[in-house]
């Protein structure tokens, strides 16, 4: 194993693939997989997501008669992800500073391709390998949510999509997102403020009654956006808010979601007013969406134990961890395929400071090789 993977990784991140615009990069990876002897196909997920290509699904037959092992990475990057210009500094690969780097998740893709190349070059027999390169992961796990699971043969595998090498993520939370719209009553703020119902005040008082941030060891909540009002001299008629809750406990997720919605509804009732004998009551409209269900895999599961064993063999700090965000693994796992998440070495993702050490690209590749070799025994 040598540093050639750095050049390969650099070539991949220079192919633009922001969410919903992954086609050019998908076609590149299709050719790479075909060179490895894989059967390659696409599903029609993009017809539901609005992108320009579907999920890429590949199958390498292998030489050992065992059930296939799945590896999953995502093709897309966040913005700004166009015209990426990688630079190497002190043994790390960075972007030029105007864009993200794309190590999330092209480091996983590069390491996987190089691992399979190594096995073939060294004539090492391996079990069948299945590959899913998903689309639109970064904008709501849309590729995995719309994946044609009838095309997938594997029942276990790994998502290569987090940072710490040697760490196996065995839990990740469920997430609810919510939109709330408060409709009050407009009035002139100077002449007749008594005849108005401020949607902004209802929102602010509702927010102040609730706890936000880390609610307990398993649960977080956040208001992400708030918009309301059209002018300083008008009592704000409408205010909209968006937010999310995440929890490793489904009962807690439901309870805290209900608490937020009911607090807004009950607070709005307190702002009802009577004008000239007519009752005006503010209204609260809301929508709650289940973005994904929790990932929860036992540390005794074979995919966890082989991941840890392979990491230890390489001298990596092998451990299981609990993640705070969702990934394709959540969706795939909840579609009947055992999945955990492995680190690739990526750092400072979703920022223009994103980077990855070249040594981590090399070690991440070795980790994948060891996992495949363990499964192939």
Task: Enumerate the domain spans of the chain.
Answer: 4-172+294-375, 174-292
Active site annotation includes 76 = yes
CATH number of the structural domain 174-292: 3.30.70.360
Two tokens at 288?
Answer: 């709650």
Taking CA atoms, 164 is separated from 263, 324, 348, in Å, by 39, 14, 12
CATH class of 4-172+294-375: alpha beta
Question: What CA–CA distance (Å, rounded) separates 308 from 163?
Answer: 15
Active site annotation includes 7 = no
What is the structure's pLDDT at 3? Answer: 72
Of the residues 21, 32, 105, 137, only one is catalytic, namely 137
Report pTM: 0.93
Question: What CA–CA distance (Å, rounded) separates 128 from 250?
Answer: 35
Angle between helix 250-269 and helix 199-209 axes, rounded to 10 deg: 140
What is the structure's pLDDT at 1? Answer: 58
| Same topology between domain 4-172+294-375 and domain 174-292 | no
Of the residues 30, 76, 161, 338, only one is catalytic, namely 76
Question: What CA–CA distance (Å, rounded) separates 56 from 53?
Answer: 8
Chunked into runs of 10 residues, the chain (377 residues) has average pLDDT values of 88 99 99 98 98 99 96 99 98 97 99 98 98 98 98 98 97 98 98 97 98 97 98 98 98 98 99 94 98 97 99 98 95 98 98 98 98 97
């Amino acid at each position: 194993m040598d540093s050639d993977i750095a050049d390969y990784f650099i070539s991949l991140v220079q192919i633009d693939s922001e969410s919903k615009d992954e086609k050019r990069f998908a076609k590149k990876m299709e050719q790479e997989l075909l060179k490895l002897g894989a059967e390659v196909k696409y599903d029609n997920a993009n017809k539901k997501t609005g992108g320009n290509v579907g999920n890429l699904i590949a199958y390498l037959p292998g030489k050992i008669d065992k059930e296939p092992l799945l590896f999953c990475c995502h093709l897309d990057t966040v913005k700004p992800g166009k015209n990426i210009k990688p630079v190497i500094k002190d043994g790390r690969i960075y972007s030029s500073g105007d864009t993200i780097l794309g190590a999330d998740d092209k480091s996983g893709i590069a390491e996987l391709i190089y691992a399979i190349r190594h096995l073939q070059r060294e004539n090492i027999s391996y079990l069948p390998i299945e590959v899913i390169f998903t689309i639109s992961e970064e904008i709501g796990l849309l590729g995995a949510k719309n994946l044609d699971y009838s095309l997938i043969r594997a029942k276990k595998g790994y998502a290569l999509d987090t940072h710490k090498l040697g760490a196996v993520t065995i839990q990740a939370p469920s997430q609810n997102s919510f939109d709330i719209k408060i409709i009050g009553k407009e009035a002139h703020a100077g002449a007749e403020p008594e005849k108005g119902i401020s949607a902004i005040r209802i929102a602010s008082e509702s927010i102040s009654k609730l706890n936000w941030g880390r609610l307990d060891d398993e649960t977080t909540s956040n208001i992400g956006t708030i918009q309301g009002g059209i002018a300083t001299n008008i009592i704000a008629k409408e205010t909209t808010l968006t937010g999310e809750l995440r929890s490793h406990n489904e009962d807690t997720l439901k309870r805290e979601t209900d608490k937020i919605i009911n607090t807004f509804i009950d607070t709005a009732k307190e702002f009802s007013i009577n004008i000239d004998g007519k009752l005006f009551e503010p209204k609260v409209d809301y929508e709650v969406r289940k973005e994904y269900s929790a990932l929860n895999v036992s540390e005794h599961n074979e995919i966890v134990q082989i991941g840890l064993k392979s990491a230890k063999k390489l001298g990596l700090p092998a451990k299981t961890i609990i993640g705070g965000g969702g990934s394709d693994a959540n969706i795939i796992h909840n579609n009947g395929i055992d999945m955990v998440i492995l680190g690739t070495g990526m750092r400072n993702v979703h920022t223009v400071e994103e980077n990855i050490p070249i040594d981590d690209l090399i070690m991440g590749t070795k980790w994948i090789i060891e996992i495949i070799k363990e499964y192939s025994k």
